[in-house]
């Protein structure tokens, strides 16, 4: 990598720590380490998916990357320039569209608000174009959010996000509140918009199937760190970090899946994000951990293809195929 100008988003060593209340007046300051030294690169027109269990820091990382939260360390660049140096570059779509839309604003007002210096005479035509891009009937523009379905509301949020033609959009659980059929429709819409506009996405979700459906690369987070980065088309039986393998095995299988994994059940709870362990953060739950894992923290090591792994013994835990196929409902 010769520089960050080729990336819609480039972040290095990002940290976010939340101070905790002090029990005593002169007690040492303590922090919760939500994001700890994370590097992120997303090229124009590409999608990075981020997965991990609740509390791993993926949503906090997303908020820091788009400037909704302040980083305590590291650097973030949008289109090769420091984050926040220019507006319109980044946008976001969150999980609950009903809370993201002002109930007192009509759809045309909600979308037009995201377009700087839009002449009033052009509002209807421009908003109509954006609604058509997200497969919404432009005749709905004078309605209020409560008059639309959840899927239509999320399409409004997507139309608002693309209105300023951003180079990068954060999608944080953007389809998780929708039912399965609507999820696929919105994912197809996001793919189509990306192909037309060349926008980069970061797609955060706990749903591995949705992440694989929209992503080019997938980053697995655990306790504030990225532990594996792999191409989306290898996110099956080619995973190498034990946590990634366990996470993939927990994905529900459905009839027709090309790869149906035997479930790996992890024992114990994650370590405290306040008092972090000396060695590997996954060691206390890892089925294949050894003495070195407890005393020495593994670095994140990358190969020439861009794959990265944070493990002393990568590939030591394998996915096993189910001996019986999942029966049809």
pLDDT of residue 259: 66
pLDDT band at 2 (very low <50, low <70, confident <90, very high): very low
pLDDT of residue 277: 94
Poorest-pLDDT segment among 34-38, 212-216, 299-303, 317-321: 317-321
pLDDT, average across residues 102-124 = 93
Q: Which of 156, 158, 157, 162 is nearest to 115 (CA)?
A: 162
Helix residue ranges per DSSP H, 66-166: 97-100, 107-112, 123-133, 150-162
Note every long-range contact of 34-37, with CB atoms under 8 Å and residues 24 or more positions apart, other chains counting.
34/60, 34/224, 34/273, 35/60, 35/61, 35/64, 35/71, 35/224, 36/223, 36/224, 36/225, 36/276, 37/13, 37/73, 37/74, 37/225
Percentage of residues of the chain with pLDDT beyond 70:
93
Question: Is the pLDDT score of 41 beyond 90?
Answer: yes
How far apart are alpha carbons 99 and 58 in whole angstroms?
Answer: 21
Return phi, psi of residue 263, to 5°. -70, 135
Spatial CB neighbours of 252, under 8 Å, sequence gap ≥ 6: none
| pLDDT tens figures, 236-255 | 778 999 999 999 998 877 76
Buried b / exposed e over 31-62, threshold 16 CB at 10 Å, is eebbbbebbbbbbbebbbbbbbbeebbbbbbb
Could you give the 3-state DSSP secondary structure of residue 246? helix
How far apart are alpha carbons 13 and 18 in whole angstroms?
Answer: 17
pLDDT of residue 1: 38
pLDDT band at 3 (very low <50, low <70, confident <90, very high): very low
Average pLDDT of the chain to the nearest whole number? 90
Most distant CA pair in the chain: distance in Å? 69
Question: Is the pLDDT score of 30 beyond 60?
Answer: yes
């Amino acid at each position: 990598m010769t520089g960050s100008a080729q990336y819609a988003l480039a972040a290095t060593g990002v940290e976010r720590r939340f101070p905790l209340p002090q029990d005593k007046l002169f007690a040492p300051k303590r922090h919760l380490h939500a994001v700890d030294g994370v590097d992120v690169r997303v090229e124009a027109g590409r999608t990075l998916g981020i997965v991990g269990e609740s509390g791993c820091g993926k949503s906090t990382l997303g908020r820091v990357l788009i400037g909704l939260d302040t980083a305590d360390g590291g650097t973030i660049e949008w289109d090769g320039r420091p984050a926040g140096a220019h507006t319109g570059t980044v946008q976001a779509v969150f999980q609950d569209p009903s809370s993201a839309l002002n109930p007192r604003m009509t759809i045309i007002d909600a979308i037009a608000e995201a377009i700087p210096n839009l002449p009033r005479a052009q509002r209807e035509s421009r908003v109509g174009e954006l609604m058509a891009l997200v497969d919404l009937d432009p005749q709905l523009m004078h309605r209020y959010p409560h008059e639309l379905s959840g899927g239509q509301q999320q399409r409004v949020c997507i139309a608002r996000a693309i209105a300023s033609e951003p180079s990068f959009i954060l999608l944080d659980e953007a389809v998780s509140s929708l039912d399965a059929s609507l999820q696929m429709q919105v994912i197809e819409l996001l793919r189509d918009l990306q192909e037309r506009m060349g926008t980069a996405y970061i797609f955060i979700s706990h749903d591995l199937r949705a992440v694989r459906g929209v992503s080019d690369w997938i980053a697995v987070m655990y306790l504030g760190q990225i532990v594996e980065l792999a191409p989306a088309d290898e996110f099956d039986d080619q995973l190498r970090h034990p946590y990634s393998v366990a996470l993939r095995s927990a994905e529900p299988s459905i009839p027709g899946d090309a790869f149906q994994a035997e479930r790996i059940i992890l024992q114990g709870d994650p370590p405290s994000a306040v008092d972090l362990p000396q060695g590997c953060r996954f060691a206390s739950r890892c089925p294949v951990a050894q003495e070195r894992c407890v005393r020495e923290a593994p670095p994140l090591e990358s190969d020439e293809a861009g794959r990265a792994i944070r493990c002393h013994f990568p590939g030591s835990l394998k996915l096993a195929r189910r001996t019986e196929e999942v029966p049809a409902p």
